[in-house]
Structure 1
């Protein structure tokens, strides 16, 4: 009974990870569009999935510990459960474990892409801010220049 519960929990973990991957892909298109409201909502949804994954992971740990008769304080891996399970259940555990590993790798790659997109967006914003309000940098020190009021040249007159 515990083995089938463990397989069911792992399948639920796989489903949640699949949904999380879909959100990560959706995040990329939202970042490209620059839609902050949608991004905020997506981040809230992402947090819900992460919370559910953490809850299921705790349940998986508990079920795996019960399966191997290990105290609940020690973490138990799926590999240990595979070694202790009967052949048909072990095959199912191997299959589900591999699916989870594959989807987590996809999530990792998508999150790296999203991080690069966000970094580029911030660079673009900073570049535009510098064009609108450039900071005058002085290459050398001069006592006379320091006492004169700063003359800023900008393409955009922000004082108008």
Structure 2
């Protein structure tokens, strides 16, 4: 049995993850510019991509299960390295190896880019919080008058010099 269904699912997963990576790069630029509406639109598009990835991943798992059933592979053996050992066609083996490597690379790039986006978002939130803290009054600022410390020797002096 050929592994065409597995290869087809992997090809589409690579394409979707490449598209997600491009969206993530765009999101980085929008975060740097502070374009909140643009980020929201990107997030909506990403959600659609994630739904498609989940659907494709289910298809890929089903194809792997059917293929593994034919070769009587256990659940632990349903990994790329074991499948590569069982594939007899050199072209399919090479294509499976290339696609799985490319998908792994895309996933690593996407993870790194999303980590950057997460850090940018956290920095933006910290900046906003700092500005809010600067604008909101504290308890000491709300009290009127010039409050002096009680331990301050200058505050205990009288206006009149009694020794005179």
* TM bucket normalised to smaller: 0.7 to 0.9
Can you give the 5+ residue segments of structure 2 that lack an aligned partner in the other structure? 145-164
In structure 1, the residue matched to 2:69 is: 69
Instruction: Provide TM-score, normalisation by structure 2.
Output: 0.77
Structure with the greater alpha carbon radius of gyration:
2
Matches within 5 A, 1:1-160: 2-69=2-69, 74=75, 76-86=78-88, 87-136=90-139, 150-151=142-143
Moved over 6 A (4+): none
Distance 2:58 2:13 in 1: 11
Aligned residues: 140
Larger relative CO (CA 8 A, sep 6+): 1 or 2?
2
- How far is the alpha carbon of 1:77 from its aligned partner? 2.5
Distance 1:136 1:126 in 2: 18
Distance 1:49 1:41 in 2: 13
- The answer (yes or no) to whether the contact 1:2–1:66 under 8 Å persists in 2 is no
Can you give the 5+ residue segments of structure 1 that lack an aligned partner in the other structure? 138-148, 153-160
The CA RMSD measured in Å over matched residues stands at 2.3
Instruction: Provide TM-score, normalisation by structure 1.
Output: 0.79
Match of 1:121, SS state, is helix
